[in-house]
Structure 1
Amino acid sequence: MTTTPTPVLRRHTTLTPQLREVIGELYTQVRADLLEHPNYRVEVFLGRLDRHAAEPGWSVVIAYAAPDGEPVGYAYANTVTPGDRWWKRMNSPVPGRFTARDAAAVKEIGVVPAWRGIGVSRQMHDALLAGRGEPHATLMVNPAAGGGKVMRLYEGWGYEEIGVIQPSPDSPWLVCMGCTVRA
């Protein structure tokens, strides 16, 4: 009988140099097949990470293989306000229930290949949103990721499509999805 490993989750609210290095190393493993694309280069990601970590409400959850084991995944979010550029770049108006109040914007979720398919992403996602005050969460997903599997995964978590956006000229078009975290 085999058992599914359970990661240890740790939440951080400040991006220290050591934490930045851990996230950067995880990103390199998670996005290894995309690193040649201009939007996915490590230095571009680290620039986004630095910018996001300086925004209100930033936090990250790191998953570890065991209490003192190797990091195997990360998920981070910050708060977006009703007038944030997050909403202004959409190709169509976003439903008011998402833009009327602050929302948690899940900016990144990544799990190293050996730990995929066992629920680590969901565990990190839920831990990331636990205890936050925002009533809604949003995220952006490349609809082609995993042949559409990633978007379907988020739909299974309760997310629905609320718009389409191209965050930067080097970025692919992404689907923005939202869900209710708490009433």
Structure 2
Amino acid sequence: MKISQWDGTEDQLDAIARLYADAFAEPPYDEDPARNLIEFPQRIRRYAAEKPEFRLRTATEDGDLVGFVLGTGIGPGDWWWDRLNATLAAPHRARWLEQQQFGVAELVVKPSHRRSGLGRALMNNVLDGLPYNSALLACYPDAVAPQGLYTSLGWTVIDPCLRVSASHPTQIMGIRLRPRTSRRITLPVRSSVEG
């Protein structure tokens, strides 16, 4: 098994998008795979161009993609950070929303490799050496297996059922990190487009 940063090629991005579309077509997500095959690569390209600490780590075995994890720096001006700031209860905002932190956007493992430790390895890899004090993620409240993984890795439930957009409510989780430096990263100015 090899874990590495996305190589930047369209071929690998296509494989990542196929794995994403397949995973999120499953319950409890039930998302449209055709739509995800178009929109997910667009989101990856946008994140790579605009967001700090862009990390898209892929796991391959014998040349085949078997999993990936995506995360970026977030802070004021970022769509997701701004939505959390607007919807989280005041005590949670005070405790968890710093000016900058890492947001884990996606963690996907191919069904044949689930419960093998790959999800754990990908999450540890993407969080390693970050210059932030904390990381946040969102998952569906009824996505039991991912929640079990996150909890076993030390993630804490911040809000069990928060509606940050018009879509499905999500469970917000956070973890404290040991930053590699104390440097601050300036986020690019973002539009209010969801992302």
Tell me if TM exceeds 0.5: yes
Q: How does 1:1-183 map to 2 (within 5 A)?
A: 7-12=1-6, 15-33=8-26, 37=31, 41-42=35-36, 43-54=38-49, 55-66=51-62, 69-82=63-76, 84-90=78-84, 91-93=87-89, 94-145=92-143, 148-163=144-159, 164-169=161-166, 171-182=167-178
Tell me the amino acid that sits aligned with residue 33 of structure 1: E
Contact in 1 for aligned 2:25/2:32 (Cα 8 Å): no
Percent of aligned pairs sharing the same letter: 26
Partner Cα separation in structure 2 for residue 132 and residue 142 of structure 1? 25
Tell me the amino acid that sits aligned with residue 77 of structure 1: G
Tell me the amino acid that sits aligned with residue 166 of structure 1: R
Change (3 A) 1:116 1:105: same
Contact in 2 for aligned 1:89/1:166 (Cα 8 Å): no
Partner Cα separation in structure 2 for residue 109 and residue 155 of structure 1? 14
Helix, strand or coil at the partner of 2:53: coil
Helix, strand or coil at the partner of 1:89: helix
TM-score (norm 1): 0.80
Q: CA deviation at 1:39?
A: 9.2
Change (3 A) 1:143 1:39: farther
Please give the per-residue CA displacement for 1:137-174, whole angstroms capped at 9, x wherever unaligned.
Answer: 111000111xx2321321111111223443443x3111
Change (3 A) 1:141 1:97: same
Residue correspondences, number: 171
Partner Cα separation in structure 2 for residue 40 and residue 97 of structure 1? 39
Q: CA deviation at 1:16?
A: 3.7
Partner Cα separation in structure 1 for residue 101 and residue 140 of structure 2? 20
Partner Cα separation in structure 2 for residue 41 and residue 96 of structure 1? 36
Tell me the amino acid that sits aligned with residue 52 of structure 2: P
Q: CA deviation at 1:95?
A: 3.6
Tell me the amino acid that sits aligned with residue 178 of structure 2: R
Contact in 2 for aligned 1:11/1:128 (Cα 8 Å): no
Gaps of 5+ in 2: 180-195
Contact in 2 for aligned 1:31/1:40 (Cα 8 Å): no
Contact in 2 for aligned 1:80/1:102 (Cα 8 Å): yes
Please give the per-residue CA displacement for 1:9-62, whole angstroms capped at 9, x wherever unaligned.
Answer: 1123x7442332121122133234258535994133334333333322211110
Tell me the amino acid that sits aligned with residue 48 of structure 2: A
Please give the per-residue CA displacement for 1:47-88, whole angstroms capped at 9, x wherever unaligned.
Answer: 43333333222111100114xx21100001000014533233
Change (3 A) 1:150 1:104: same
